[in-house]
Amino acid sequence: MPKIELTSAPFAYEGLDRVIHEKARLGLLTSLMAHPKGLAFADLKQLCGLTDGNLSRHLQVLQEAGLVDVIKGYEGNRPHTTCRLTKTGRRRFLDYLAVLEQLVRDAAKAAGKDAGAPSRLGVQTA
Q: In this structure, is residue 66 part of a structural domain? A: yes
Which residue range forms the structural domain that includes residue 77?
A: 18-107
The answer to whether residue 125 scores a pLDDT higher than 50 is no
Q: In this structure, is residue 73 part of a structural domain? A: yes
Which sign does the torsion angle of CA 50, 86, 17, 11 carry? positive
Q: In this structure, is residue 120 part of a structural domain? A: no
DSSP string, 72-105: EEEETTEEEEEEEE-HHHHHHHHHHHHHHHHHHH
The percentage of residues in the chain with a pLDDT greater than 90, rounded to a whole number, is 72
More confident residue, 1 or 93: 93
Q: In this structure, is residue 43 part of a structural domain? A: yes
Q: In this structure, is residue 117 part of a structural domain? A: no
Contact status, residue 58 vs residue 82, Cβ threshold 8 Å: no
Q: In this structure, is residue 9 part of a structural domain? A: no
User: Which pLDDT tens digit goes with each residue over 95-107?
Assistant: 999 999 999 999 9
The percentage of residues in the chain with a pLDDT greater than 70, rounded to a whole number, is 83
- Rounded to two decimals, the pTM is 0.79
Q: What is the mean pLDDT of residues 51-70?
A: 98
Domains of the chain: total: 1
- Residue 14 CA to residue 60 CA, distance in Å, equals 23
Provide the mean pLDDT of the chain. 88
Least confident of 31-35, 67-71, 74-78, 115-119: 115-119
The answer to whether residue 20 scores a pLDDT higher than 80 is yes
Q: What is the pLDDT of residue 118?
A: 56
